[in-house]
Each structure stands twice: as structure tokens, then as C-alpha cells.
């Protein structure tokens, strides 16, 4: 498997999916090129000779907005369907046995180590991505590493990071995120929280950083398990935190209690396609040591307005967890789970074989409760029969429009947690921090009481289709 960002770039290049762009400006030009290319589902981009910066100090973007990059990063073969990728990831996940990181003395990340007055984060050609962004966001494809002060385990999570000045970064981690909980524990003890932020790394580490692993499970241990060998780390002597030995750029330092230092953060072009959370004061990290490789590459994964996906095109970050939670809750005969909409987080579809009266409703209700990990914005839950592929939104809509009488089979339930990034939080609710939303449950399964009398589907049966395709194979060869 790939062990660093450069490995992903090489693999994309081999597939003809990488372009070098010279002489772009960090001020909105890189961001806009990235946006246009992502919308066109075009290749990954590596920006070099950025205006005002020396050659070699690069920015890589649009690597994971497209399925090709995700398949390389996760090792999914091209012939695995999207739903099969979700099922495969779910299986891996369930066999988890921790494989801890391996400490090494040296690694490419230590090629340049800056301290004291030599630290200047503006050395890195950080783009201003979107027109109304409040500043330059170095952390979009970031992993932020923290250690729990009580239990000692190491977490990483992706939380956006805005440059404040040459040694200060503000970071936005929502309530309940693991880094939020950990930093609050340090502050409660009157201590600053040690933090390491990597701005370019092995894509698998980035992917895990964006996923809601349970409290207490280190993303390092999960990465080691998936790779079949421990991730190589060097220990930062200032914070004591393990940092990936092959990372491109790592800023290590401390986050003081917010009453000591916090700075305006935002607005930022967010993943739902708006600047919804505006500007607020957020905690900062004061950088004490800056590591970078020779000719470092900043990895950018800035949000782009949907339907471009800021998370992953194949929703292993949301569907896998939902599917697992439903099965853990004892739900039987779940045939597939998929999540669509912005970020692949908003519309969950569960395909099931109805076994008993109320089965679909029970599954839907649980799915509504569980569809929250990472960003609590899941608003629609659709249940469909087992003949519907939940990853195919056209098929799902066929079921919704032909198997669901809205009067009887749609429920709207208010009061679920959403997120400050939800654009539908009106100003009054936002002022009182009421981040709640209703959820819509659409039962598009054939009505249970008369499902056996439901009109049959008008396609040829599987056997007839197989035989016909076999006999007329020439006709269908290149269709
Ligand atoms: C590109 C990207 C950017 C993200 N930015 C943020 C962010 O700014 N703040 C946040 O709280 N979560 C953000 N997330 C979601 C978290 O990374 C995700 O919830 C993750 O599970 C957090 O890690 P944790 O569970 O260890 O807290 C982002 C996800 C992605 C894919």
C-alpha cells in the first residue's frame, strides 16, 4: 500500500490522472482552478512555482474528489461496485485488531526542522480557497494529532485550520469531536493541549482522520491494521506526540485555554456549499516546531459546492458505520446501506428484506438515530425493498415514486441534533445555539400488509435475461 502523499501522486500519474500547474496565484487562483477541475471530474493537480514562492514548494489538490483517487488510496479494485466497496470496508472494519505505530529515529519529515524565530508558516504556499474565506486555510486535508491526558491514547481528526500569524493557527473542531474533548480536559487542568497538525500525509491516514472511530481507538492502530504493518512515526520532542515519518509538513505546538488566546475563525466555504457558520472566536495552536520535507507538498482538500464531494465519492465514511450500527442493534436482513447527498451524509438509503410488520419502520427509526457520525446533518432516511440497489439513486427514486403513498408512509420527526454548519439553522435558532433539525423518514418498501398482492415488476426474469444475453451476446457486446 501507499505510504505517503507522493505515493498517491505517482499512482495517479501512472493512470494519467495528474497534471502539473505552474505559476498560479495562491490568492483565489489555485482554489478556483481546483473548483473548476473538481466540477469537471478532472485529474489531480499539483501546483508548482506558485506566485511569490520558490519552485518545489507545492500544493496538491483534487486527489480524492474523484473515485480513481479513492480507489487507489483504499486499495479498492476497479471492478468492485460502489456498494461492494462499502461492504468490503465494513468487513475489514469488523475484523479490527490494533496494530500500533512503529517508532523510528528518522524520516523524511525531519529533513527540515524549524524552531524559534525561524518558524514562519507563511513559508508554505497556503491558498485562499474561496472568495469569502476569512483567511488562508492551511488545514483542509489536515490530520490533527492529540493525546488523551487521562487514558494516553492518540487520536487524529480532520478539523479545518486557518492561519492567524506566522506562528499561530486557529482550528475549528465541532462539539463532541475527540480533539474537542481532549483539549477541554487539558484546559480543565489549567494546561495547554499539545497538538501536532500534519498538512500532507499518507492518504489512508487522512481518510481515517475523517472517520468517526469510537472513543479510545487510535487511528494509528487502525491504519496499521489495514496496512498489515505499523505506521512509522517519529516522536516530536516538544509535544511528545508521534508524527508520521513520511508526512510533508507538520506544525507542533500547544493550544492554550481559550480565555488565554482564541481568535476569529471563518468564514469558510463549507462542505454543504455555503459559508454557514460565519466567524466566531476559536481555539488556537501556538507553533513551537515546524517540520517539513524538502520540496514540501501541502495537501488541499477544500470543500467544493455539491454535487462535488468534499468527503469521498464512495461513502465508506458514512454508509459503513450506519450499516454496522444497524446490524449491531440486531436488525436482520439488511441487504445494503448507502448514503447520498452533500458529503454523502444527508440521505441514507437502507435496502432490506421485510420479515415482519413494522420491520422497515424499525430499521428507519434506528437509522435516523445513527445517521450522525462526524457531522450530524443526515436529514432523510429512505427504506427500500431488497430488489432496489441503495447506491443507485435513480432506482431509489423509482421506489419512492411508486411504492410510497406520502400520506401514510412519510414521517417527519423534529428535534434531532444537526450542526452549526447546517445552512438551515435560522438566525434565531443560531443565536440560542439550537442546532436541531427534523428528520424525514420515507418508507418506500412495498406496503407490508399487501406486499404479496403488489403489482409485479415488468422486467424479464433473471433466467430469461441471462439466456437472452448469452444468445445475443454480439448485439450487446459494445453497448
Ligand atoms: C475534508 C474534511 C474536512 C473536515 N473538517 C472538519 C472541521 O473543520 N471540523 C470538524 O469538527 N470536523 C470536520 N470534518 C469531520 C471530521 O474530520 C470527522 O468528524 C472525524 O471523525 C473527526 O475525528 P474524531 O472522530 O477523532 O473527532 C471534516 C471532514 C472532512 C472529510
Question: What is the distance between the alpha carbons of residues 198 and 285, in angstroms, rounded to a whole number?
Answer: 13
Ligand 1: atom nearest CA of 375 is 19
Instruction: Tell whether the model's pLDDT for residue 375 goes beyond 70.
Output: no
The number of angstroms, rounded, from the C-alpha of 460 to the middle of its chain's C-alpha atoms is 40
CA of 147 to the centre of ligand 1 (A): 17
Ligand 1: atom nearest CA of 210 is 17
Instruction: Tell whether the model's pLDDT for residue 156 goes beyond 90.
Output: yes
C-alpha cell at 349: 438509503
Position 376 scores a pLDDT of: 65
Contacting residues for 21 by C-beta, under 8 A, at least 6 apart: 33, 45, 46, 47, 48
C-alpha cell at 433: 445555539
DSSP secondary structure letter of residue 128: B
247 and 111 Cβ atoms separated by less than 8 Å:
no
Mean pLDDT of the chain: 95
Pairing mode, if any, of strands 44-48 and 18-22?
parallel
Rounded to a whole number of angstroms, the distance between the first and last alpha carbons of the chain is: 35
CA of 173 to the centre of ligand 1 (A): 7
| CA-wise closest residue to 393 among 461, 347, 329 | 347
Ligand 1: atom nearest CA of 157 is 23
Write the pLDDT tens digit of every residue in 397-436.
Answer: 999 999 999 999 999 999 998 888 899 999 999 999 998 9
Position 318 scores a pLDDT of: 92
User: Hey, what domains does the chain have and what are their CATH numbers?
Assistant: 5-299 (2.30.110.10), 319-453 (3.40.1670.10)
Residues with CB under 6 A from ligand 1: 155, 157-160, 172-174, 177-179, 210-212, 301, 310-311, 374-375
Question: What is the distance between the alpha carbons of residues 300 and 460, in angstroms, rounded to a whole number?
Answer: 48
Let me know how long the chain is. Answer: 479
Write the pLDDT tens digit of every residue in 244-277.
Answer: 999 999 999 999 999 999 999 999 999 999 999 9
Instruction: Tell whether the model's pLDDT for residue 229 goes beyond 80.
Output: yes
Instruction: Tell whether the model's pLDDT for residue 209 goes beyond 70.
Output: yes
Position 371 scores a pLDDT of: 85
Alpha helices in 159-316 (DSSP H): 178-188, 203-209, 219-227
In angstroms and rounded to an integer, the radius of gyration of the C-alpha atoms of the chain is 24
Instruction: Tell whether the model's pLDDT for residue 373 goes beyond 60.
Output: no
Write the pLDDT tens digit of every residue in 338-366.
Answer: 999 988 899 999 999 999 999 999 999 99
Ligand 1: atom nearest CA of 311 is 31
CA of 433 to the centre of ligand 1 (A): 20
| CA-wise closest residue to 335 among 323, 319, 344, 345 | 323
Question: What is the distance between the alpha carbons of residues 79 and 438, in angstroms, rounded to a whole number?
Answer: 38
Write the pLDDT tens digit of every residue in 285-341.
Answer: 999 999 999 999 999 999 999 999 888 899 998 999 999 999 999 999 999 999 999
Record the pTM: 0.94
Quote the percentage of the chain above a pLDDT of 70: 99
Write the pLDDT tens digit of every residue in 21-50.
Answer: 999 999 999 999 999 999 999 999 999 999
Instruction: Tell me which of 159, 197, 271, 311 to substitute to probe ligand 1's pocket, judged by most ligand atoms within 8 Å of the beta carbon.
Output: 159
Question: What is the distance between the alpha carbons of residues 356 and 58, in angstroms, rounded to a whole number?
Answer: 58
Amino acid at each position: 500500500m501507499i505510504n505517503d502523499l507522493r505515493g498517491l501522486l505517482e499512482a495517479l500519474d501512472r493512470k494519467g490522472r495528474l497534471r502539473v500547474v505552474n505559476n498560479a496565484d495562491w490568492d483565489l487562483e489555485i482554489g478556483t482552478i481546483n473548483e473548476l477541475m473538481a466540477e469537471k471530474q478532472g485529474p489531480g493537480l499539483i501546483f508548482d512555482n506558485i506566485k511569490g514562492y520558490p519552485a518545489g514548494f507545492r500544493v496538491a489538490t483534487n486527489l480524492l474528489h474523484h473515485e480513481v483517487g479513492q480507489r487507489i488510496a483504499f486499495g479498492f479494485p476497479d471492478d468492485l461496485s460502489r456498494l461492494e466497496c462499502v461492504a468490503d470496508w465494513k468487513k475489514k472494519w469488523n475484523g479490527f485488531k490494533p496494530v500500533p505505530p512503529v517508532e523510528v529515529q528518522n524520516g523524511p519529515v525531519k529533513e527540515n526542522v524549524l524552531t524559534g524565530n525561524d518558524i514562519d508558516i507563511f513559508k508554505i504556499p497556503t491558498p485562499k480557497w474561496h472568495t469569502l474565506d476569512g483567511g488562508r486555510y492551511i488545514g483542509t486535508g489536515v490530520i490533527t494529532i492529540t493525546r488523551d491526558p487521562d487514558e494516553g491514547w492518540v487520536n487524529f481528526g480532520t478539523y479545518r485550520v486557518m492561519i492567524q500569524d506566522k506562528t499561530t493557527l486557529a482550528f475549528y473542531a465541532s462539539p463532541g469531536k475527540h480533539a474537542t474533548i481532549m483539549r477541554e480536559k487539558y484546559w480543565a487542568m489549567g494546561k495547554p493541549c499539545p497538538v501536532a497538525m500534519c498538512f500532507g500525509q499518507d492518504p489512508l491516514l487522512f481518510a481515517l482522520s475523517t472517520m468517526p472511530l469510537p472513543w479510545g481507538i487510535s487511528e494509528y492502530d487502525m491504519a496499521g491494521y489495514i496496512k498489515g504493518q505499523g505506521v512509522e512515526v517519529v516522536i516530536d520532542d516538544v509535544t511528545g506526540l508521534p508524527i508520521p515519518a513520511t508526512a510533508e509538513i507538520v506544525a507542533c505546538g500547544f493550544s492554550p485555554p481559550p480565555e488565554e488566546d482564541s481568535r476569529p475563525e471563518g468564514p469558510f466555504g463549507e462542505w454543504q456549499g455555503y459559508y454557514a457558520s460565519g466567524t466566531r472566536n476559536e481555539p488556537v495552536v501556538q507553533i513551537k516546531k515546524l517540520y517539513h520535507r524538502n520540496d514540501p507538498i501541502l495537501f488541499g482538500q477544500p470543500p467544493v459546492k455539491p454535487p462535488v464531494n468534499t468527503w469521498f465519492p464512495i461513502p465508506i465514511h458514512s454508509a459503513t458505520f450506519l450499516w454496522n450500527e444497524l446490524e449491531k442493534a440486531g436488525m436482520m436482513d439488511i441487504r445494503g446501506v448507502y448514503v447520498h447527498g452533500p458529503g454523502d451524509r444527508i440521505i441514507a438509503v437502507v435496502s432490506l428484506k421485510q420479515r415482519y410488520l413494522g420491520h422497515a419502520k424499525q430499521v428507519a427509526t434506528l437509522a435516523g438515530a445513527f445517521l450522525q457520525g462526524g457531522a450530524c446533518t443526515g436529514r432523510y432516511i429512505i427504506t427500500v425493498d431488497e430488489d432496489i440497489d441503495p447506491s443507485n439513486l435513480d432506482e431509489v427514486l423509482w421506489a419512492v415514486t411508486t411504492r410510497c403513498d406520502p400520506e401514510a408512509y412519510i414521517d417527519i420527526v423534529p428535534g434531532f441534533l444537526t450542526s452549526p454548519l447546517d445552512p438551515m439553522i435560522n438566525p434565531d435558532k443560531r443565536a440560542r445555539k439550537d442546532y436541531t433539525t427534523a428528520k424525514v423518514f420515507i418508507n418506500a418498501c412495498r406496503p407490508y400488509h399487501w406486499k404479496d398482492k403488489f403489482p409485479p415488476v415488468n422486467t424479464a426474469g433473471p433466467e430469461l435475461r441471462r439466456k437472452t444475453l448469452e444468445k445475443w451476446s454480439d448485439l450487446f457486446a459494445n453497448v
